[in-house]
A and B are shown apart, each in its own frame.
Chain A
Amino acid sequence: MNLPVHTEGLTKRYGGLTAVRDLDLTVRAGEVYGFLGPNGAGKTTTLRMLLGLVRPTSGTVRLLGRAPGAGRLTGVGALIEGPAFYPYLSGRDNLRVLARYAGVGADRVSLVLDLVDLTERAGDRYAGYSLGMKQRLGVASALLKDPRLLILDEPTNGLDPAGMADMRTLIRRLGAGGCTVLVSSHLLGEVEQVCDRVGVISRGRLIAEGSVADLRGATGLRVLADPLDVAAARAGALVGEERVRVVDGGLDLSIEPERAAWLNAELVDAGVAVRELRPRERDLEQVFFDLIEKGTADVA
């Protein structure tokens, strides 16, 4: 099976600096894959290597099953490190020029302008565009080839909240339509909302990969109840004392959230007044920082 993105041992060194180190990245067909990492982690360098803009020091890249060479980017659309266009041309003419390079018909230009909601201003010179409009034009250029694989580097940069929501909707829609999307971001919320799977990169190394739920790790239940000591004793007797912790005036239980109704009934039977009972998840931001910290420590 031809994987949309497959790298093995991908490494890029600039003198003494290793920007990307032994990166094995796999993006499966039809998924929206989030490439997450702080600024300077190596996300853009990796994406540039995927597209052939930067030559790897070592390792291999295959896109849609194809190795580097002529026709490698057939079926691949990309927006890398912000939009860049010819300032003296209109948005539409910029896309027309790119359509010639891509070998696609001019009818695609109007279609993608509609997709990013830029038709009304398509005749204006690019130099006069706002940052958000430039970003949308960048996404439009990435869609020109009706790609099977779309690579987007920080696509919501410069967009206002409404534009960011539109972009997420567009990415989800493309993913639902069978397009494989690789989207890089340093925004956790963005990745969480659109991605099926996430890879976290830090200092050029992939330090974690999985679904957002996987990355969050173990979940549990949070219980606010009176009296707390009775609730703690009863919960300990039910699930084991090692799984019960008293934190901030409540109980953190390391058990499956699906057991909430059973636990509630047991506590009530024991004369405990349960004020709040909800699933407890690790804050994704904390997960992210924990991973980055761990990755940094591993590298060091």
Chain B
Amino acid sequence: MSRSFRAETVKLVRRPAFWLLLAITLVLSLIFTYVFPYASIAGGTTGPNADRTLPMLLPDRLVGNSLGGLPVFLGSIVLILGVLTVGGEYGWGTWKTVLSQGPSRLEVYAGKLLTLAAAALVVVLSVFAVGAVSSALIAVAESQPVHWPSAGDLLTGIGAGWLMATMWAMLGAVLAVALRAVALPVGLGLVWMLAVQNLLAAIAAPLLAWVAQLQKGLPGPNAASLAAALGAPGDTPGVAATVGGGQAALVVAGYLIAFAAVGGLLLQRRDIG
């Protein structure tokens, strides 16, 4: 499997789309987590997130601020990365090229998943790094003391962020295998994450008790709960404490494994066209 992991890593690192998605992730994270709220605070304007105060942008809130985007917006970008990594092989017709060299389907698939997991870690670490620099700059600019989260909190936050990001990447991967394409899985994945999840939470769940119960088992609300449990601001779109942090972590991990397993099963059983 290590040879597949190395090959997949080369393909991902050399792929411009990966760097573009990473750049978009960091820019969105920077702008919506720090720049707009700070500009609002500095300018005294009101609007969404206007209840964010300066202490919420300082380094001791790094973990929560870094996780806030992962249940929906940054998670969507990681989902796209998952689709591209697996679905690209269908789009370019390269499954046959790769498999003709001898590795088994599951060996290649496992290499892809490992690479996606590593890429998810890179994304999360980058978000944390950008957040650290941004919050430190704000603290210095506002003459505030710089207090960092403890090493344990940082590690827990990074681990939780990796769990969420990897789960979304696996969802992208399984959609790509199921639909054997790129465009449709991206479209459906984004519709689910940006529209269906929000509609369920905002409209259906308050009206119907069973939908509210169902929410507690879905990946988005559990990712949102995990982020909330680790300090993500409650006014961040998609962040809400529907269940406890421990349960959320378990459910997110369960979905990660399930998505990976279903994708592998489908890939193993179906013909390569």
Q: Which residues of A contact B99 (CB under 8 A)?
A: 51-53
CA distance A83 to B94 in the complex (A): 8
- In A69-96, the 8 Å CB interface with B consists of 70-74, 76-89, 93, 96
Q: Which residues of B contact A100 (CB under 8 A)?
A: 3-4, 6-7, 10
Say yes or no: A87 contacts B92, CB within 8 Å. Answer: yes
Q: Which residues of A contact B93 (CB under 8 A)?
A: 82, 84
CA distance A70 to B108 in the complex (A): 13
Say yes or no: B7 contacts A101, CB within 8 Å. Answer: yes
CA distance A81 to B94 in the complex (A): 11
Q: Does A145 contact B (CB under 8 A)?
A: yes
Say yes or no: A85 contacts B97, CB within 8 Å. Answer: yes
Q: Which residues of B contact A83 (CB under 8 A)?
A: 97
Grouping DSSP codes into helix (H, G, I), strand (E, B) and loop, the A interface class, with mixed when no group exceeds half, is: loop
Say yes or no: A101 contacts B98, CB within 8 Å. Answer: yes
Distance to closest chain A CB from B264 (angstroms):
16
- In the complex, the chain A residue whose C-beta lies closest to that of B15 is A88
Q: Specify which of A70, A80, A86, A96 is in contact with B104 (CB 8 Å cutoff).
A: A70
Q: Does B102 contact A (CB under 8 A)?
A: yes
Say yes or no: B96 contacts A53, CB within 8 Å. Answer: yes
Q: Does A135 contact B (CB under 8 A)?
A: no
Looking at B4, B88, B93, B96, the one whose CB has the most chain A CB atoms below 10 A away is B96
Known: A74-B102, A93-B14. A103 touches B3 (CB 8 A): yes
CA distance A182 to B4 in the complex (A): 28
CA distance A54 to B271 in the complex (A): 5
Say yes or no: B10 contacts A101, CB within 8 Å. Answer: no
CA distance A141 to B100 in the complex (A): 9
Distance to closest chain B CB from A30 (angstroms):
22
Known: A71-B102, A74-B102, A77-B100. A85 touches B92 (CB 8 A): yes
Q: Which residues of A contact B98 (CB under 8 A)?
A: 98, 101
Known: A93-B14, A101-B7, A145-B101. A86 touches B271 (CB 8 A): no
Known: A84-B92, A103-B3. A96 touches B10 (CB 8 A): yes
Say yes or no: B102 contacts A73, CB within 8 Å. Answer: yes
Q: Which residues of A contact B94 (CB under 8 A)?
A: 84-86
Say yes or no: B271 contacts A84, CB within 8 Å. Answer: no
Q: Does A195 contact B (CB under 8 A)?
A: no
Q: Does B246 contact A (CB under 8 A)?
A: no
Q: Specify which of A70, A78, A86, A88 is in contact with B100 (CB 8 Å cutoff).
A: A78
Say yes or no: A97 contacts B7, CB within 8 Å. Answer: yes
Known: A48-B272, A53-B96, A85-B97. A101 touches B102 (CB 8 A): yes
Q: Does A139 contact B (CB under 8 A)?
A: no
Q: Specify which of B6, B14, B101, B102 is in contact with A88 (CB 8 Å cutoff).
A: B14
Q: Which residues of B contact A32 (CB under 8 A)?
A: none
Distance to closest chain A CB from B111 (angstroms):
9
A-B contact count (CB 8 A): 87
- In the complex, the chain B residue whose C-beta lies closest to that of A55 is B271
Say yes or no: B272 contacts A54, CB within 8 Å. Answer: yes
Known: A54-B271, A103-B3. A98 touches B14 (CB 8 A): no
Distance to closest chain A CB from B46 (angstroms):
46
Q: Does A144 contact B (CB under 8 A)?
A: yes
CA distance A76 to B103 in the complex (A): 12
Q: Does A215 contact B (CB under 8 A)?
A: no
CA distance A80 to B11 in the complex (A): 22
Say yes or no: A101 contacts B4, CB within 8 Å. Answer: yes
Q: Which residues of A contact B3 (CB under 8 A)?
A: 100-101, 103
- In the complex, the chain A residue whose C-beta lies closest to that of B98 is A101
CA distance A100 to B102 in the complex (A): 11
Distance to closest chain A CB from B186 (angstroms):
18
Chain A proximity mask over B81-124: 1 for CB below 8 Å, otherwise 0 = 00000001000111111111111100010000000000000000
Chain B proximity mask over A51-68: 1 for CB below 8 Å, otherwise 0 = 111110000000000000
- In A204-260, the 8 Å CB interface with B consists of none
Q: Does B43 contact A (CB under 8 A)?
A: no
Q: Which residues of A contact B15 (CB under 8 A)?
A: 86, 88
Q: Which residues of B contact A93 (CB under 8 A)?
A: 10, 14
CA distance A98 to B98 in the complex (A): 6
Distance to closest chain B CB from A1 (angstroms):
23
Q: Does A102 contact B (CB under 8 A)?
A: yes
Say yes or no: A53 contacts B101, CB within 8 Å. Answer: no
Known: A87-B92, A88-B16, A96-B10. A145 touches B102 (CB 8 A): yes
Contacts A71-B102, A88-B14, A141-B101 supplied; 18 other A-B pairs, CB < 8 Å = A48-B271, A48-B272, A51-B99, A53-B95, A53-B271, A82-B93, A83-B97, A84-B94, A89-B11, A96-B10, A97-B11, A98-B7, A98-B98, A100-B6, A100-B10, A101-B4, A141-B100, A145-B101
- List residues of B whose CB falls within 8 A of some A CB: 3-4, 6-7, 10-11, 14-16, 88, 92-104, 108, 271-272
Report 19 cross-chain contacts, Cβ distance below 8 Å, ordered by A residue.
A51-B100, A53-B96, A73-B100, A76-B100, A76-B102, A78-B100, A83-B97, A84-B97, A88-B15, A89-B14, A97-B10, A98-B98, A100-B4, A100-B6, A100-B10, A101-B7, A138-B97, A141-B97, A142-B100
